[in-house]
Every structure is written in structure tokens, then in C-alpha cells.
Amino acid sequence: MKNEQWGNRTGFILAAVGSAIGLGNIWRFPYVAYENGGGAFLIPYLFALLTAGIPILILEFGLGKKGGGSAPSTFRRLNKNWEWLGWWQVAISFVIITYYSVIISWAMSYTKFSFQLEWGNEPKEFLFVNYLHLTESVWSIGGLQTHILWPLLITWVFVFFTLYSGLRSGIERVTKFAMPLLIVLFLIITFRGLTLDGAIIGINHFFTPDWSKVWNYKTWMAAYGQIFFSLSIAYAIMITYASYLPKKSDVNNNAFITAFGNSGFELLAGITVFSILGFMALQSNVDINDLAAGGVGLAFVVFPTIINTLPALNQLFGVLFFGTLVLAGLTSAISILEVIVAAIRDKFNLQRRTAVIWVTIICASSSITYATGAGLYLLDIIDHFVNSYGVVLAGLVQVIIFGWFYRLKTIREENNSTSDFAIGPWWDIMIKYITPIMLLFITIQNLIGEFKAPYEGYPVSALVTFGAGSAILAVIIGLIFTSLKWRDPNQPEKKRGAS
Ligand code: PHE
């Protein structure tokens, strides 16, 4: 039943890059980098990429290929007591897909709005009042926003059919088409950005280093957070995707290609976004600092404002920009859902299609929570907690387990034996010492900061309920699923070596 494999190497790489390149690259990276010292941010960013990002990616690709199953079954196969780590990561992916799908559907709505520049002259008001119907506080949920449900439905139908069609005719086919298209479309945006008046002002601003930020732990936290989120590591995703690799596949080179592909795109997005901001600053005589809003504001307020003022082809530019966001988001969403599907299939011995139906129904109905008047608040809080604590902690546990309680060297040797090139003992040092020390330090600082000032000034009651609540919920879901019985008589221990 579970012997699906990628059609070829390109298929695997494009799927992995498709998962990595997402909303995180186009809209998260530019403002995170900017807020954390611009050019100076690149130092911690590259450090995190080389010492944690690539080593963990190599680890996950290696584990996936070795285990040949979903994350829970792979971990269990290596050690009976580690299944829960897999389920914890699967549960984190569950929490993330519920809101990630909603952001994609906002981008879908905005692609449509672009045709008529429907946001008018007040994009900010349009977003918060007319589109999101944002309530006064997290605690007032507001009504269900039916106009958001439509694009949300389209998102889910698309993801559903992709996974339902299988690995090769679904995921591989979609990413082989979507990724090249995404890159071509984005290059057009980049070209337009760079040729606008004032582009250089923006780029200068982006790269001008603020060295004082390099000594701030928050910058390091942001760099690690960005690398984990952007590379999709510690979400069980890369383990799952690599489990569909033939046994003789390369690991090391694939990891480098995926990581550099992702970071290259990220840098390109930074340059593009800032060249466009430079144009806006020149046009409206505003300082870039006042333009570069974070998060939702950048994509859904600043960009519409800029699109309004472009000299020509405004609508086309809008469609292109939001269209690429949708594309980038969809290929990531597919990967997140596949993690859950693979795990459920393995544990309950289900056919792909049955698992896809159930998992989609549950995730899609949970995502409706964010299509309410308080959706944006909930999304913001849950995203912060699940990514700062859930993922980073799951990553920390993963490197400690494999660095200290497993024969790490054997994983490296196994990877080397089938890879284009071999990696040396530096890898063991990263997994064993550097990454755990950095992650531990960051998490502790982060926790201290959390108690000092409530995140974004939200009421503490809401932060605890939704934020800490969802991070803890992921652990609980993980434990519950671990305790359930394996339905597949061959899973997971007996299958070792069988495939
Ligand atoms: N890596 C994706 C991005 O940059 C997002 C993602 C996060 C995908 C977590 C899967 C898991 O947007």
C-alpha cells in the first residue's frame, strides 16, 4: 500500500522547494530582515542557515529516506519511545495549516480585487473594515465572514484534489508546474520593481546594516525563526517528503540545493519588495521606515497603496503580485497537509484517498475559525506562539535526541554513502552542540521576554488561552495519537528493511 515514490529527482527537489518557498519568503522575510537590522540581519541569518538550517535539513532528509514512512512511524522505527515527537510535529503542522490556508484565501481575494483595484483609495480601511470586518478585541469573535469562506473553499478543494490524486500525479505534477511558473512570474515583478524610480533608495535602505541589532538576542531569535519557518524544518514535512525517495538517492546535495534555492528566492524577494517600497517613498515623500509595515500590513495594505500609484498596468501588477502569493502558498499548503495524511495513513492503515478525505474535512472545518471578525487576532497570536515555542522546541528536542541518544555518525555515513558528495564531522558538531545551545539560549530569552511584555499588547487572557493554549494543544494531540493503537499489522517495526 505505501510504496509511493517520486518520479524523479527533479520532482522531489521541486516539491521540497515548493514547500519551503511560501508566504514566508515573499512577505515575511523582507520585513523580518528589515526590522532586525537590514544588512546586519544577514549575519545571524546566514549563521542560522549554515549551522542549523542545512544540517537539520540533511538530518530530516536522511531520516525520511531511512525510515520510509511518516514522521511518527520513522521516529518509532528508530526508537520505540520517540513516536510522540513525530506526532507533536504533525500536530504543529495541523495548527499551522488551519491558518495558513486562510492567508492564501485572502491573497486569492486580493488577486480578484486587483482587476478593479477594488480597495480604492483607502487600502487600510478596506482591509480591516470592509474585508476582514475586524472586531474590537480578540474576545469578540464577530460573525462568520462568508465572503472569505469562498476563496477558503477554493483553497481546500485545490489542496484536496492534489493530494487525492496521489504523490506523482498530484503533488509532483502540481509542483513541477507551479514552481517554474512562480519563479518566472516573480522575476517579472522583480524586473518591474528594479526599473521603478527610487528602487535604489529602497534597496540601499534594506541593505544598510544597523550593527547595533547584531548584539540583540531578538535578532538571533528572528533569524532562527525565519530559517525554521521558511525551510519548513521541524514540522515533519521534510521527513515525510524524503520518505518517498528511492533508497539510493542523494541526500546531502539535495539539502544544499533546497536550502540555497529557498534562501536565494528569499533574498530576491527582499530586494524586490524594497525596490518597490523605494519607489513609493520617492512618490509620496514618506520615509521608508513609515512604509515598511510588518506582516499582514505589508502585503495587504502597503502593496495595494503602491499598486494604486504605479505609472501603468496597475491591475496587471496587482494580479501578478497576489497571484504569486497564492501560488507560493498553495505548494506549501500541500506539503503541510501531506504530513498529516501520511501520519494518519500509516497509523490507521488507511488508503491515501480515505485519509485525504478525513484529514481535509477536519482541517478545513477548523480553518473556518479564522474566517471570523476576530480571525486576524487569533491568527497573529497562534502563529507567534506555535512558531516561537512549538516549532523551535520540537526542533530542539529533535537535535538533542539524535545528537545525544542516537548514533549520529551512522546517519551521516549512511547519507554519505548515497550522496553526490560526502559531508564531514562538522555536521555532527552542528547537530550535537551548536544548534541545541543556540536554540536553548533563544528559547529561554524568548520566554523571559514574553513575561515582561505581553505580545503585541494583546490581553494576557487571550495570549494564554489561544497562544499558549494552541502550543500546549499540539503536545496533547501528539500524546493522544501516540497512545492509540497501530492498525497496520506491519507497522512500523516489522517493515524495517522490508522496503
Ligand atoms: N515554508 C513555508 C513558507 O515559507 C511555510 C511553511 C511553514 C510550510 C511550515 C510548511 C510548514 O511560507
Q: What is the DSSP string of 384-417?
A: HHIIIIIIHHHHHHHHHHHHHSS-HHHHHHHHHH
105 pLDDT more than 70: yes
Among the ranges given (2-11, 89-98, 242-251), the one the predictor scored with the smallest mean pLDDT:
2-11
Find the mean pLDDT for residues 318-333. 94
For ligand 1, atom 9, name the residue with the nearest CA: 232
Model confidence at 374, in pLDDT bands (50, 70, 90)? confident
Average pLDDT, the chain: 89
| Tens-digit pLDDT profile for residues 221-265 | 889 989 999 999 989 999 999 999 999 999 999 999 999 999 999
Q: How far is the CA of 226 from the centre of ligand 1 (A)?
A: 10
Q: How far is the CA of 498 from the centre of ligand 1 (A)?
A: 32
pLDDT of residue 491: 61
Q: How far is the CA of 392 from the centre of ligand 1 (A)?
A: 14
Report which of 53, 56, 39, 471 is spatially closest to residue 225, judged by C-alpha positions: 53
1 pLDDT more than 60: no
The helix-helix angle for 314-348 and 146-164 (nearest 10°) equals: 60
CB 342 within 8 A of CB 351: no
Find the mean pLDDT for residues 325-330. 95
201 pLDDT more than 50: yes
Percent of the chain surpassing pLDDT 70: 96
Q: How far is the CA of 489 from the centre of ligand 1 (A)?
A: 33
CB-based burial, 50-75: b 16+ in 10 Å, e otherwise: ebbbbbbbbbbbbbbbbbbbbbbbbb
| Cell numbers that stand for 100 in this block | 495558513
Closest atom, ligand 1, to C-alpha of 329: 12
Closest atom, ligand 1, to C-alpha of 23: 12
Find the mean pLDDT for residues 425-453. 90
First-to-last C-alpha distance (Å) of the chain? 11
The residue whose CB lies within 8 Å of the most ligand 1 atoms, and thus the one to mutate among 101, 179, 186, 232, is: 232
Residue 395, amino acid: G
Model confidence at 443, in pLDDT bands (50, 70, 90)? confident
497 pLDDT more than 60: no
98 pLDDT more than 80: yes
Question: How crowded is the C-beta side of 298, counted as CA atoms within 13 Å?
Answer: 26
pLDDT of residue 294: 66
What sign does the dihedral 326-330-333-337 (CA atoms) show?
A: positive
Distance CA 197, CA 362 (A): 48
Secondary-structure breakdown of the chain: helix, strand, coil percentages, each rounded to the nearest 5: 80, 0, 20
Distance CA 97, CA 35 (A): 26
pLDDT of residue 121: 87
Report which of 56, 78, 481 is spatially closest to residue 236, judged by C-alpha positions: 56
Q: How far is the CA of 230 from the centre of ligand 1 (A)?
A: 5
The residue whose CB lies within 8 Å of the most ligand 1 atoms, and thus the one to mutate among 28, 227, 230, 238, is: 230
Q: How far is the CA of 232 from the centre of ligand 1 (A)?
A: 5
pLDDT of residue 206: 86
Model confidence at 493, in pLDDT bands (50, 70, 90)? low
Find the mean pLDDT for residues 190-205. 90
**What is the C-alpha R_g of the chain?**
22
Residues with CB under 6 Å of ligand 1 are: 19-20, 22-25, 96, 229-230, 232, 235, 237, 332, 335-336
pLDDT of residue 499: 36
| Tens-digit pLDDT profile for residues 380-391 | 888 888 887 888
Find the mean pLDDT for residues 449-476. 87
212 pLDDT more than 50: yes
Find the mean pLDDT for residues 173-187. 94
CB 95 within 8 A of CB 314: no
Enter the pTM of the model.
0.92
